[in-house]
Amino acid sequence: MARAEEITKLVHQQGGRMTRQRRLVMEVLASLDTHPTAQELYELVRERVPTISPATVYRNLKLLHDLGCVLELDYGPGPTRYDATVTDHCHARCTRCGRVVDVPVVDVADAATAAAAMSDWLITGCRVELYGLCPKCRDANNRKTQPEGAR
């Protein structure tokens, strides 16, 4: 796994060790197509290592974020979510349950390029967020708004 080797090299360059727990946090996060909170990730990691502490997961998430291996998705109120995909891409967020999913797009960097071309800004990144209701919340919302006899 090339990604694991790159992350190990980054950790070593910072004077750290690629511990079993750190590797596991990264592996579990990278295996998900969801964007878990730190608590959700802790619960998933704990299924494989029951003795791991929440502090270990949180500390490793912070280190992996600081190294640029993990994105923090902070959308204001509510818990921060994490993403192992660090290349530019879009997200869709459910405004009811908080679920976040990746949205495949051709090139997110087009927005940054356009902004840089029309201004004197130095664009250093791009984040595109779409928001609405996920299918589960949308269906629940539809059930609530249907007339009694329509059910």
**What's the rounded Cα separation, in Å, for the pair 78 and 72?**
13
36-40, 110-114, 119-123: range with highest mean pLDDT: 36-40
The pLDDT of residue 84 is above 70: yes
pLDDT band at 1 (very low <50, low <70, confident <90, very high): very low
User: What distance in Å separates the CA atoms of residue 44 and residue 48, rounded to the nearest whole number?
Assistant: 7
pLDDT at 2 over 50: no
> What is the distance between the alpha carbons of residues 22 and 121, in angstroms, rounded to a whole number?
37
2 or 18, which is more confident? 18
**One domain, residues 6 and 78:** yes
Which of residues 64, 86, 108 is at a domain's end? 86
Position 136 scores a pLDDT of 92
pTM greater than 0.95: no
Range of 68's domain?
1-86
State the total domains in the chain: 2
pLDDT of residue 4 exceeding 80, the answer is no
The reply to whether 146 and 97 lie within a common domain is yes
Among the candidates 52, 86, 120, a domain finishes at: 86
Q: Which pLDDT does position 133 carry in this prediction? A: 94
